[in-house]
Structure 1
Amino acid sequence: MEDNNLVSFDQGWFVIQTYAGYERKVKEDLLERAELYNMADKILRVEIPTETIRTEVNGKMKEVEENLFPGYVLVEMNMTDEAWFIVRNTPNVTGFVGSHGNRSKPTPLFEQEIQDILVGMGKVVREIDFDVFVGKRVRIVDGAFSGFEAPITEINGDKLTLTVDMFGRATPVELDMHQIEDIQA
């Protein structure tokens, strides 16, 4: 019997450590290498967590991009041996965070961690490519109710209310759009 609620450690967002100041170069090189080695389907996105800071330079206010985590780059990828090798051997990459050495595979960030980082950066977390309307049944993919299917009962901007059946009782649950997926027929 297969349990579809198990978390896959083969796909997700991973943190790679770089030499401080080389984050942009690592991002460029990694994307270039993904194309060169036909790994674009395995190395999906590369992000450098930044924030815009207003600072005074020579008496003038200026907006400056500042790294939130100097020396670290986020990579969304399918963790195969080949993809691991490409990322790990990219110039100026010193390793994966969460790897225990000896060629062991790292563990991905938790969904909520990456959501918080990407939303804070103003990045699109996940595109919703299906119609969302009151009455539609969807599957919850993140949070305490992950794996449950429930109908949408209310839509308020990017927030949804679903009615989850728990212990024979209808329980309203408020979620963000990125926490649901379409139920494939």
Structure 2
Amino acid sequence: MAEEAKWYVAHTYSGYENTVKATIEKAVENRNMGDLILAVNIPLETVTEITDAGSKTVERKVFPGYVLVKMVMTDETWHLVRNVRGVTGFVGSGNKPIPLTEAEIASLGVEKREVLVTYQVGDNVRITDGALESFLGIVEEIDTERQKVRVVVSMFGRETPVELDLDQIESI
């Protein structure tokens, strides 16, 4: 069942996102529906606000008024989420929710993808994706926290550093 689960977007009253998330999680727990509704997420970003009193770091909602729910869409799960106080409906056409695409999920950073790094600094690699596909280079730096790698590529007789995603290169 978990393979069929997709991310859906529930529209909520502004300011009710945390309440809706807690209510859905409690309902899932009470009804033993953990295999149908796998996760509830409110995308947040960390922002540094600078005021007269100084700077402070706060977490801000990326999409106020929306909650992401990873679930297997059935009549039962639709009714559970739809009937939570504060939920006005799903994003989609009419009463039919439309799941997020893989690209949308990746750009939101909702699901962390684990990338197996088989290369290290100093290794010769081939770029497998993007504008520089099939170029050869040498790994200069690996940043696993940001999921990025810097590769030095020889273009037009010059050494040029290029920043890529970890899964855009392979060892040769």
TM-score by length of 1: 0.59
Instruction: Name 2:18's counterpart in structure 1.
Output: 24
**Is there any run of 5+ residues in structure 2 with no aligned partner, and where?**
120-138, 149-163, 168-172
Instruction: Verify: 1:90 aligned to 2:84, yes or no.
Output: yes
Give, in whole Å, the separation in 2 of the partners of 1:114 and 1:73. 13
1:82-120 deviations in Å (ceiling 9; x for gaps): 11111111111110001413xxx31101111011102xx
Give the number of the structure whose residues are more often strand, by fraction.
2
Instruction: Name 2:8's counterpart in structure 1.
Output: 14
Q: What is the CA-CA distance between 1:125 and the residue it aligns to?
A: 2.0
Instruction: Verify: 1:68 aligned to 2:62, yes or no.
Output: yes
Q: What is the CA-CA distance between 1:126 and the residue it aligns to?
A: 4.0
**Is there any run of 5+ residues in structure 1 with no aligned partner, and where?**
1-7, 135-154, 160-173, 178-185
- Change beyond 3 A, Cα 1:58–1:111: same
1:55 corresponds to which letter in structure 2? E
Give, in whole Å, the separation in 2 of the partners of 1:117 and 1:70. 14
Q: What is the CA-CA distance between 1:38 and the residue it aligns to?
A: 1.2
Report SS of the residue matched to 1:51: strand
Instruction: Name 2:136's counterpart in structure 1.
Output: none
2:44 corresponds to which letter in structure 1? T
User: Equivalent residues in 2 for 1:27-176 (5 A)?
Assistant: 27-57=21-51, 59-101=53-95, 105-118=96-109, 124-126=111-113
- Change beyond 3 A, Cα 1:132–1:62: closer
Give, in whole Å, the separation in 2 of the partners of 1:76 and 1:99. 19
Give, in whole Å, the separation in 2 of the partners of 1:55 and 1:40. 38
Q: What is the CA-CA distance between 1:53 and the residue it aligns to?
A: 1.1
Q: What is the CA-CA distance between 1:20 and the residue it aligns to?
A: 0.2
Give, in whole Å, the separation in 2 of the partners of 1:58 and 1:117. 32
2:103 corresponds to which letter in structure 1? Q
Q: What is the aligned-residue identity percentage?
A: 45
Give, in whole Å, the separation in 2 of the partners of 1:71 and 1:15. 10
CA RMSD of aligned residues (A): 3.0
Stretch moving more, 67-76 or 56-65:
56-65
1:115 corresponds to which letter in structure 2? A
Aligned residues: 128
Give, in whole Å, the separation in 1 of the partners of 2:166 and 2:35. 27
Larger Rg: 2
TM-score by length of 2: 0.63
